[in-house]
Amino acid sequence: MQTMNIPDIGQAAPDFRLRAADGTFYTLSEYLGDQNVLLVFYPLAFSPVCTHQLPELQAMLPRFEAADTAVFGVSVDSHWSNAAFARSLGVRFPLLSDWKREASAAYGVLLPDQGYSGRASFLVDKQGRILWREISENTGNIEEIPSLEAALAALAKA
C-alpha cells in the first residue's frame, strides 16, 4: 500500500465533508470537543471482505458508543450504493461516500491505480488528533482487517 501522506499518531486529522447513505453530510470538525471518531475506510461495498468487516463493526458499536465515539464507514462508493449495502448488512452507523476520493487521499490510503481506498482505520480524539491507526497491507485478506479491539484499547488509554 502507498504510504504517502498518512497522518501520524498525534497529528491533526484531516477534515472532510462526506455524504451518508441517507443524503446527510458529515464533517469531522462537527465532532471536535464532543466525541471521538472512528473512521473505517473500506475498499468497496458488496466485496467479500467488506461484507464480513462491517457487521463485525456493527456488533461492536455499543462498545464504541459507550466510549463516546462516533463510528463511520468510508468508501468511494456512491451514497446510493452505500445505502443498499447498509440495508443488506443491517448496519446502522453512517456509511460515507468519498466519491471524489478526497478523504481517502487526505488520509493517505487512496490506491490510485485501483480507484478506491485501502482498508484502514483511524481513531480521532476529541481534539481532532490521530489517536490510533491501522492500515492493512492486503485489502483482500480477511486476516488483515484492522483490529477493533486495538482501537478500543487505544480509547481506554486516552
145 classed as catalytic: no
Helix (H) or strand (E) holding 65: helix 48-66
The residue-averaged pLDDT of 107-122 equals 94
> How far apart are the C-alpha atoms of 57 and 89, rounded to whole Å?
11
The one catalytic residue in 28, 49, 50, 130 is 50
Task: Give the residue-averaged pLDDT of 48-59.
Answer: 91
Q: How confident is the model at residue 49 (pLDDT cuts 50, 70, 90)?
A: confident
Q: Residue ranges per domain, the chain?
A: 17-157
What pLDDT is recorded for position 26? 97
* Residues 6 or more apart whose Cβ sits within 8 Å of residue 129: 10, 11, 12, 13
pLDDT tens for 140-149 read 888 888 999 9
Select from 22, 28, 50 the least CA-distant residue to 103: 28
93 pLDDT band (50/70/90 cuts)? very high
Asked whether the beta carbons of 79 and 21 are under 8 A apart, the reply is yes
Of the listed ranges 23-32, 42-51, 54-63, 148-157, the one predicted with least confidence = 42-51
Kindly state the average pLDDT of the residues 101-117. 94
Q: Which CATH architecture has domain 17-157?
A: 3-Layer(aba) Sandwich (3.40)
Nearest 10 degrees: Cα torsion 39, 45, 49, 53: 40
The yes-or-no verdict on residue 4 having pLDDT over 70 is: no
Question: Average pLDDT, whole number, for the chain?
Answer: 93
